[in-house]
Amino acid sequence: MKKTILALTIATLSIGAYANTYDADKTNYSTNTSQNPDAIAHAKAMTGVTTNSDAKAYASDATAYGDSRTYAGYRGTATGANTVANGEGAVATGYSSTASGIVSIAHGNAAKATGDGSIATGAEASAEGARATAIGRGAIGKGAGATALGSAAQATGTSSVAVGPAATASDTRSVAVGANANADGHRATALGTNTKASGPGAVALGNESEAVNQKLWNRTNESAVIDDVTLDGWAGTKTMGEVSVGTKDKERAISNVAAAEISKTSTEAVNGSQLYSVAKKVADNKRAIVTNTKNIGDNTSKIDTLTKRADANDVVDEQQWNKINSNSKSIGDNALSINNNAKAIAANKAAVNSNKQAISDNKQAIVTNAKNIGANASQINVNRAKIDTLTKRADANDVVDEQQWNKINSNSKSIGDNTSKINVNSAKIDTLTKRADANDVVDEQQWNKINSNSKSIGDNTSKINVNRAKIDKLSNGIAQANKRIDSLSDDVRKHRKLASAGIASAFAVANIPHATYAGKSALGVGVGGHSGQQALAVRYSRLSDNTKWLVSASGSVDTQSQVTYGAGLTYQF
């Protein structure tokens, strides 16, 4: 079999048995050794270098080292049997490795870097997306800008990051850190072994934590109703995902939480001491309310007792009212009789006028009658005094009104003209007077009781007013405490976000390696996440030629728009 090396370019170099070169400035080195049979350099510009059997460098500045169909493209380097570096500036190292993307790097057996600017390091590692990175056996970086670090780690979402054995980040900008960590939600973050974050914006923190409630994405909570009481006026009513530090039956407590800002606009989490302070004030107010309720109950009982007594007095008053009405009826009957007597007197007057002559003849009799009339007038005066007394007592009972008084005055005038009927009615009036006297005695006793009850009611009303003032004061205190709680909650939420973002920045910077070779510089990028906050960091470092000096500078930016930076210098001796 004829062994040849073909060189078809300027300043080409072929080394091997039966070497052949073509074009200007060519050089042939022919030996009888069997090393490098069938090496071919087809460099069309500049320099092509091939070694070993069946190695092919097809473009300028290409280098191919290895046996069995090893190919190198423009400025590409293929090292190892059956390797392919056909992307511009691509590097393929390792058996059956492939670097087909522009300036891609494939390092390791069967490693593949097919995306432009991609890096695949490790046996069977695959970096398919543009600028994707896959480091570790079987690691896959499929999405554009994806990063997979660790054995069997997979970052298939755009700009996703998977760090750890079998870690998976399958959605856009998702981050999974830890063995078997899984982040398959948009912008989800899973941090810890066996963690899972599957909802949009979900964050799972800690071993076996799960954030899988997708209903918490883009949800709005503006109010709540508890026991018919509506709570509203909140800040942070719209949720952007879930943060979980455990899972069902494997919950975790979050400790060392700083006191939150309590304000109307605060979205910070409060700690236990803040809740205890509020609970203590509520308990104190509750005890005061219980005491006031008891006092009000006692006062209510007393008022009920007074009401019952007043009702009993009303019954007695009703009986007295009925008696007064009966007396009024009797007086009315007497008035009717007096009116009838007045009519009879009028008739008698007519008879007197017709009998003037008889009267004149009986002057002596009239004189005698005049004496009798004088006696009757005296009796009338006595009766008038009794009627006055009855009138005053009737006024006390609010029974005899002005109309009745006018009737009595009219009757008194008629009595002056008709003494005989008044004598008959005097007995009835005496009886009514006795009844009115009896009513006066009862009224006085009742009046005393009513006065006593009124005083008790007044005292109780004063106490109720005092208690009401205390209750109003307690209500104001509770309202003020609620305002302080709201303000404290706002502070806690605000500072927690800032603290979480700062921790994320620290993790991002801490995970960027520094330069390890003498006289070399290193530029690294790191990401970090904590409690729903993320950060991106960049570090530059350089190790001096004598390895004694190490200089480093880093900076980061987080999702709270905080910029963190730092620099350091180390001398080793």
Q: What is the pLDDT of the chain when averaged over all its residues?
A: 72
CB-based contacts of 470, cutoff 8 Å, min separation 6:
288, 292
Q: Reduce the DSSP state of residue 159 to 3 states and report it.
A: coil
Question: In this predicted model, which residue has the larger pLDDT, 376 or 167?
Answer: 167
Q: What is the mean pLDDT of residues 309-313?
A: 58
Whether residue 85 is predicted with pLDDT greater than 50 in this model: the reply is: yes
363-396 and 402-417 helices cross at what angle (nearest 10)?
160
Whether residue 402 is predicted with pLDDT greater than 50 in this model: the reply is: no
> Where would I find the beta strands (DSSP E) of 407-545?
521-530, 533-543
Whole-Å CA distances, 87 to 59, 84, 100, 177, 319: 11, 9, 4, 32, 120
- Which CATH code is given to the segment(s) 13-185? 2.150.10.10
Whether residue 572 is predicted with pLDDT greater than 80 in this model: the reply is: yes
Question: In this predicted model, which residue has the larger pLDDT, 488 or 201?
Answer: 201
pLDDT tens-place string over residues 521-536: 999 999 999 988 999 9
Radius of gyration for the alpha carbons in the chain, expressed in angstroms and rounded = 58
Q: Are 498 and 562 in contact (CB under 8 A)?
A: yes
pTM of the predicted structure, to 2 decimals: 0.45
Residue 172 identity (one-letter amino acid): T
Residue 121 identity (one-letter amino acid): T
Question: In this predicted model, which residue has the larger pLDDT, 437 or 108?
Answer: 108
Q: Reduce the DSSP state of residue 291 to 3 states and report it.
A: helix
Tell me what percent of the residues of the chain surpass a pLDDT of 90.
Answer: 23
Q: Which residues on neighbouring strands pair with residue 223, listed in sequence order?
A: 232
How is the chain split into domains, by residue range? 13-185, 275-483, 511-571
pLDDT tens-place string over residues 319-347: 655 655 565 555 556 555 555 655 655 56
CB atoms within 10 A of CB 384: 16
What is the pLDDT at residue 278? 83
Query: Secondary structure of 382-443 in the HEC alphabet?
Result: HHHHHHHHHHHHHHHCCCCCHHHHHHHHHHHHHHHHCHHHHHHHHHHHHHHHHHHHHHHHHH
Question: In this predicted model, which residue has the larger pLDDT, 181 or 397?
Answer: 181
What is the pLDDT at residue 274? 77
Instruction: Check if CATH label 3.30.1300.30 holds for domain 511-571.
Output: yes
Q: Reduce the DSSP state of residue 238 to 3 states and report it.
A: strand
